[in-house]
Structure 1
Amino acid sequence: MDRIFTVDEGRALLPAVIEDARELIAARADLAELDFARRSGVRSELGGLPEIKGLQARIEEILGGWSEQGIEVKGIAPVLVDFPSVLDGVSVRLCWIEGERELSWYHRTELGFAGRRPL
């Protein structure tokens, strides 16, 4: 989907993205713990292979939901998403990273995260 977001549209979607990100972060941590336990040959109170597969499926579901909305997923550790946009006629990405409370940064599309600037 080639959606272009206004700043207001991106900001309106952000609370749902943050809520999904909280769930993704918890699943990511559980998955890391389960994987470590499995590789170390120890039992985990979190479960085993079925729980690993369930966590992986949930993470994919969250990421897929974002992609269906036109949100670009740039990373999951930390969670980093971009909302394609245009500011002053220039292609940009409204950029949000795990831990931020609002959508207040952007970067030119061709510059990536290193080119982040405040909105």
Structure 2
Amino acid sequence: MARTFTLDEARSLMPSVIDDAGVLIAARADLAEIAFDRENAGVSTLGGIPEMKAIEARIEEILSTWTGQGIEVKGIAPVLIDFPAVLDGVSVRLCWIEGETELTWYHRTALGFAGRRPLR
């Protein structure tokens, strides 16, 4: 059964989520740069296949940590995650996207990102 978060529980995880997201964002950029340089110049100052595999493993480790906590990963470019929750008897997702400094949005589960509303 999927975990359901209270708002306080989800917010308590945000400092580590934001830290991990920063690592993921940097890794994502390094991966893109290595791939681009290797395709266009044949080599990258950031490394080659072994470095790419290490970066991919680090990204997967972060994603696995989040999903292991019950967080739903919706995307990594940009990083978009949801915390399953119930507000006023309605199934919702507490929603955070890369660049936000705290957890202040939600959407009904059935509506997805387009239905985002600010938390009161």
Range of TM-score over shorter length: over 0.9
Deviations 1:10-62 (A, max 9, x none): 10000000000000000000000011112224321100000000000000000
Q: TM-score w.r.t. structure 1 length? A: 0.98
| Greater displacement, 52-61 / 38-47 | 38-47
C-alpha distance in 2 between matches for 1:100 and 1:41: 35
Partner SS state of residue 27, structure 1: helix
Matched ranges for 1:22-41 at <5 A? 22-41=22-41
Structure 1 runs of 4+ aligned residues shifted over 2 Å read: none
C-alpha distance in 2 between matches for 1:4 and 1:101: 22
Unaligned runs of 5+ in 2: none
Partner SS state of residue 81, structure 1: strand
Match of 1:70 in 2: 70
Matched ranges for 1:1-119 at <5 A? 2-119=2-119
Unaligned runs of 5+ in 1: none
Equivalences, count: 119
Q: CA deviation at 1:87?
A: 0.2
Partner SS state of residue 61, structure 1: helix
CA-based RMSD of the aligned residues comes to 0.8
Q: How high is the sequence identity, in percent, across the aligned residues?
A: 72
Q: TM-score w.r.t. structure 2 length? A: 0.97
C-alpha distance in 2 between matches for 1:116 and 1:40: 40
